[in-house]
Chain A
Amino acid sequence: EPEVTQTPSHQVTQMGQEVILRCVPISNHLYFYWYRQILGQKVEFLVSFYNNEISEKSEIFDDQFSVERPDGSNFTLKIRSTKLEDSAMYFCASRDRGPKNEQYFGPGTRLTVT
């Protein structure tokens, strides 16, 4: 069964460093998302991506964040200068075209900023 994959599973970085989180969405899916979940809190939307551009972003997704689909399979989230409060689980999700809204999530990357 196709699934969303993410790497790395755990990333530890120092405050101010840049990190890139990687995702491989399900191959025939067209819509891609990043969400994050701070420990003990809700899963919250960061950004959606369709047709090679950002389609929607949340207030959290400020200038420190960027997304890219560098080739036909990968989807990345970059945080330029990490802050302590960026420590969270980051989930990538994807969905197919059409009226169905079923989004499939990857296993997540746990980001720890020290």
Chain B
Amino acid sequence: QKEVEQDPGPLSVPEGAIVSLNCTYSNSAFQYFMWYRQYSRKGPELLMYTYSSGNKEDGRFTAQVDKSSKYISLFIRDSQPSDSATYLCAMPFSGGYNKLIFGAGTRLAVHP
């Protein structure tokens, strides 16, 4: 079983739609959860960072963690064409120096 699983998409939505991106993970020791946004041939850009279960909101973005189901989500409200990118979930592997374990990334296209 892969440590972090993420549907690669692509996901295509109209401008203004609510987007839901998800990851599942297998290691119950993961405590921190991150979402990165990656534009084509660029570096991952940290978008959201959450600790343990619950929700965290930042503008149009909401990150949700359900540790009991080992399931995390990123919601984008009022999606814009500029949100078109690949979204990566990542979890630091605790017990070491916190190397990040990434999902495969979901490619999102928001069309006008």
Contact = CB atoms under 8 A, between A and B. Distances in A.
B45 A56 contact: no
A35 B46 contact: no
Q: How large is the interface on A (under 10, 10 to 19, 20 to 34, 35 or more residues)?
A: 20 to 34
A105 B44 contact: yes
B9 to A, nearest CB: 13
B18 interface: no
A31 B97 contact: yes
Interface in B82-112: 88, 90, 92, 96-105
A103 B46 contact: yes
Interface residues of B, number: 23
A104 B46 contact: yes
B100 A45 contact: yes
Given A43-B88, A45-B101, A91 B44 contact: yes
A58 B93 CA distance: 13
A42 B102 CA distance: 7
Nearest to A95: B98
Interface in A39-96: 41-45, 48, 50, 55-56, 58, 89, 91, 93, 95
Contacts of A101: 32, 34, 49, 92, 98, 100
B92 A48 contact: no
B43 interface: yes
Interface in B25-58: 32, 34, 36, 41-46, 49
Contacts of B97: 31, 48, 50, 55-56
Contacts of A104: 46
Given A55-B97, A101-B32, A106 B43 contact: yes
Please indicate which of the listed interface residues B36, B99, B103, B105 has the most CB atoms of chain A within 10 Å of its own CB: B99
Interface of B: 32, 34, 36, 41-46, 49, 88, 90, 92, 96-105
Interface of A: 4, 6, 31, 33, 35, 41-45, 48, 50, 55-56, 58, 89, 91, 93, 95, 100-108, 110
